[in-house]
Amino acid sequence: MNTSLNVPTQGSIYRVAGASIIGSVIEQYDFLVTGVIAATVWGGIFFKLPALTAVAAAIGVYGLGIMIRPIGAYLFGHLADRYGRRDAMVYSLVLMGVSTLCIGLTPTYDSIGIIAPILLLVFRLLQGISFGAEFGTASTWVIEQAAKSKHRAFWGAWVGFAIPIGLLLGFGSVILVKSLMTPAEFIAWGWRIFFFVGFLVAIVGIVIRLRTQDSFVFDNFKAKHTVLKMPATQVWRELPLRILRTSLVNAMFGGAFFLAFVFGTGYMKTVGFTGMQAEIIGLIAAASMFVFMIIGAYLADVINRRTILLIAAVVFLVFAIPYFYLINTHSFLLATIAEIIGFGFVFGFGYGAIPAFYTENFPTQYRASGASAAYQISQVYGGGLIPILAGVILQATGVKQAYIYIGIMVMVYAVLAIIAILMTPDTTHIDLEATQEHTARRG
């Protein structure tokens, strides 16, 4: 096989990496902003229910947008493996932009009655489907383009860079917009600004992606092999255990995100930190995560993927409970250190290897489908299930005791991730163009 055909230049790798990151930035920006707005605004304007029930309903709509992501992984993984990575990424961003705009335009309950929460749910589900396409296919696109590079993990980490960038933009924009208006104005119309901005950024992303080439690995594969008719179905039929095993790794990161960034922020306020202090600590942690992600990606190329992931998992396992003891000191400095270690390092350092880990574990013929499926189902039982279980624990024990049980719960996820990493062969030096036959047999 002549794999030298159409080997990309460094400039083309930069362009694909840049095009791949933009949808993921919107996704992370939305993850933070929509979570804040769902918890503080949607209940009162979209649901005619008692206060706590309305908030629960709004958060439920938000959560369903996460739970439906595997459907997006299936649909857009199929498109990516059948027609091309770039085209699937363009279509997903179109759906993302339209659904995000529609959420921003949805009338309130007082305007159109019960139709309002129904529309909100529909648009949030469509948004969730579009987000289900992003990580696996974007990682596949950029890592295949960098297949001949010695720095595949670094290039793949560009998709991961979207997480701290999106969080920083989300935190920054919420603080800025709230500072420019009264609480009443924010509830009445200010919250919609974030969704209009998301729509405009999506348009920019669509233009950028349309001007970018598909991955050379997929183009060469398509020229020399028959493209599968149902790649998203076939990967489940042939490699179900690999999908489930690799999904356990990201489920742990879902636990780390919830423990240190969602529950942890609320816990800080409970023990006496002001909302502004908690948000500043969150900003510092997000910035540190960006730095650790660059370091983790570099070392994933120099050492290997598994070692980086194991280090992150072990630190998370050991630090899950001590994290809260540092916060309980009421010291701003010690709480910041807790966030930097428990979130910035664990999430950032480990995520430096995650895009390469998922992409390299699946052969070309259904690489986008496999990577997307493994990553997104972990969002259901990791990112989606953990908050539900934590809510039950909070109700049963109260916030000041809940951290022990929640910490133990996410430690179980860390143990499962460690087992999964140890059971998965390292892929640091694998030839992405030579894996379509033997990778499928590795199971």
Cβ contact 46:116 at 8 Å? yes
Closest CA to 26 of 269, 209, 277, 298: 209
Position 310 pLDDT exceeds 70: yes
Tokens 């024990």 belong to 397
- Of the given ranges (21-30, 226-235, 276-285, 411-420), which has the lowest mean pLDDT? 21-30
Question: What is the structure's pLDDT at 39?
Answer: 72
Mean pLDDT to the nearest integer, 11-17: 89
- Of the given ranges (232-241, 333-342, 417-426, 430-439), which has the lowest mean pLDDT? 430-439
Is the pTM value of this prediction over 0.85?
Answer: yes
Q: Please, which pLDDT band fits residue 262 given cuts at 50, 70 and 90?
A: low
- Give DSSP secondary structure letters for 268-304: HHHTT--HHHHHHHHHHHHHHHHHHHHHHHHHHHHS-
Please, what CATH class does the domain formed by 227-443 belong to? mainly alpha
Q: What distance in Å separates the CA atoms of residue 14 and residue 203, rounded to the nearest whole number?
A: 20
Q: What distance in Å separates the CA atoms of residue 375 and residue 135, rounded to the nearest whole number?
A: 8
- Give DSSP secondary structure letters for 147-204: TTSTTHHHHHHHHHHHHHHHHHHHHHHHHHHHHTS-HHHIIIIITHHHHHHHHHHHHH
Tokens 């916060």 belong to 327
Tokens 């439906």 belong to 68
Q: For the segment 374-401, what is each residue's pLDDT rounded down to a tens digit?
A: 999 998 888 777 777 776 777 688 767 8
Q: For the segment 398-432, what is each residue's pLDDT rounded down to a tens digit?
A: 767 878 888 888 899 999 999 999 999 999 988 88
Q: Say which CATH superfamily domain 8-213 falls into.
A: MFS general substrate transporter like domains (1.20.1250.20)
Domain positions in the chain are 8-213, 227-443
- Of the given ranges (183-197, 265-279, 286-300, 403-417), which has the lowest mean pLDDT? 265-279
Q: What distance in Å separates the CA atoms of residue 214 and residue 137, rounded to the nearest whole number?
A: 11
Q: What distance in Å separates the CA atoms of residue 346 and residue 256, rounded to the nearest whole number?
A: 7
